[in-house]
Amino acid sequence: MLILTCPCCGVTGEETEFHGGGEAHLTRYGPGSTDEEFQAYLFRRENPKGVHFERWRHVNGCGKWFHAARCTVTLEVFGTYPAQTLRPPEDLLERIREKRPGWRWKDLS
Amino acid sequence: MSNSQIPVTQSFDGVVEVLALPAQGMVTLRGDLADERLREAVNDTVGVEVPLVRRADFQDARGVIWMSPDELLLIVGAGQGAAIADRLQTSLAGGHALAVDVSDARVVFELRGRRLREVIAKLAPVDMSPDAFTPGDFRRTRFGQIAAAFWLVDDTCARVICFRSVADYMFGMLCHAADPAAELIVY
Ligand SMILES: [Zn+2]
């Protein structure tokens, strides 16, 4: 069971109170982008075994979107953070470096 | 609120009493909850201050409930929702806030009895131990398959709200969880 803490209302709940929203920190290419950029935005997703960054919504709760960093193997949650950012907070990245030395996710490591 | 004189529309006497309360006035207010103007408008209009995070504060039958970082649910007398929403919208004019009468959107149930923590814990993924959930605490969550929210009035009285469209499901589920043949004693 995945246990998440919503950074918007502070509730720590199990996953049935939340709804997954897919990969975090996508760049939404639109009009004016190249075919390659648009195709990548629409179809190409990370599918890591290990550290992953996702969007979640506290759907049966405060209703807000937020980000979560977790391990897809153990379901360990490294941390959650607000939706209003393009990049995970540095202290969270540091925590992941300690727990999963050598991890990589897109341009993060 | 614990000994409310509001007549009930449906009731069940089990491990706890399950009461379907009649219509109440309800107003959704969206805005910046830190904004002084909004906080004053709420206090002036409802007579209750903006509560802390995940709390429900009441003065007699009127209450203000923290729903999300930018949303309050105001509980007022039956039939007063539209007037209260108008007054709020007027006093908040020019700012970024929205008050809407949602009195018909939701229904309220009351649970009375010592075992209400067990009854709620059967239905919602919430830690109902007395240390974790105290009177005045408010929680949006799910009961069974539906979105719902509840708050503790005191240790023997809780109120549960859900959308009106699923009121029958909620009432049936609460009665089922309160069936004396399935009594749980945990807390
Ligand atoms: Zn939340």
Please state the ipTM of this predicted complex.
0.90
Q: What is the pLDDT of residue B2?
A: 43
Q: What is the pLDDT of residue B7?
A: 65
Which among A17, A60, A64 has CB closest to B69?
A64
Say if residues B45 and B88 touch (Cβ distance below 8 Å). yes
Q: What are phi and psi of B169, to 5 degrees?
A: -60, -45
pTM beyond 0.80: the answer is yes
Distance from the alpha carbon of residue B11 to the mean position of ligand 1, in angstroms: 32
Q: What is the pLDDT of residue B6?
A: 55
Residues of chain B positioned with their CB less than 8 A from the CB of A9: 53-54, 68-69, 140
Q: Return the residue in B54, B140, B163 with the most chain A beta carbons within 10 A, the one to mutate for interface testing.
A: B140
C-alpha–C-alpha distance, residues B112 and B13, integer Å: 9
Contact B54/A9, CB-based, under 8 Å? yes
Does residue A92 surpass a pLDDT of 70? yes
Which chain A residues have any C-beta within 8 angstroms of a chain B C-beta? 8-11, 13-14, 16-17, 59-64
pLDDT digits (tens, 9 = 90+) for A15-48: 999 999 999 999 999 999 999 999 999 999 999 9
Q: What is the pLDDT of residue B8?
A: 76
C-alpha–C-alpha distance, residues A17 and B162, integer Å: 15
Contact A8/B69, CB-based, under 8 Å? yes
Q: What is the pLDDT of residue A1?
A: 85
Q: What is the pLDDT of residue B9?
A: 82
Q: Return the residue in B33, B66, B68 with the most chain A beta carbons within 10 A, the one to mutate for interface testing.
A: B68
Say if residues A85 and A28 touch (Cβ distance below 8 Å). no
Q: What is the pLDDT of residue B4?
A: 46
Distance from the alpha carbon of residue A28 to the mean position of ligand 1, in angstroms: 25
Task: For each of the domains in chain B, give its residue range(s) and CATH number, in order of start.
Answer: 3-22+105-180 (3.30.1360.120), 25-101 (3.30.70.1520)
Residue with tokens 């105290």, as numbered in its chain: B134
Averages of pLDDT over runs of 10 residues in chain B (187 residues) are: 60 96 96 97 98 97 97 97 98 96 97 98 98 98 97 98 96 97 95
C-alpha–C-alpha distance, residues B25 and B18, integer Å: 21
pLDDT digits (tens, 9 = 90+) for A39-77: 999 999 999 999 999 999 999 999 999 999 999 999 999
What would the DSSP string read from start to end of B26-55? EEEEES-TT-HHHHHHHHHHHSSPPPPTTB
Task: For each of the domains in chain A, give its residue range(s) and CATH number, in order of start.
Answer: 3-99 (3.30.2270.10)
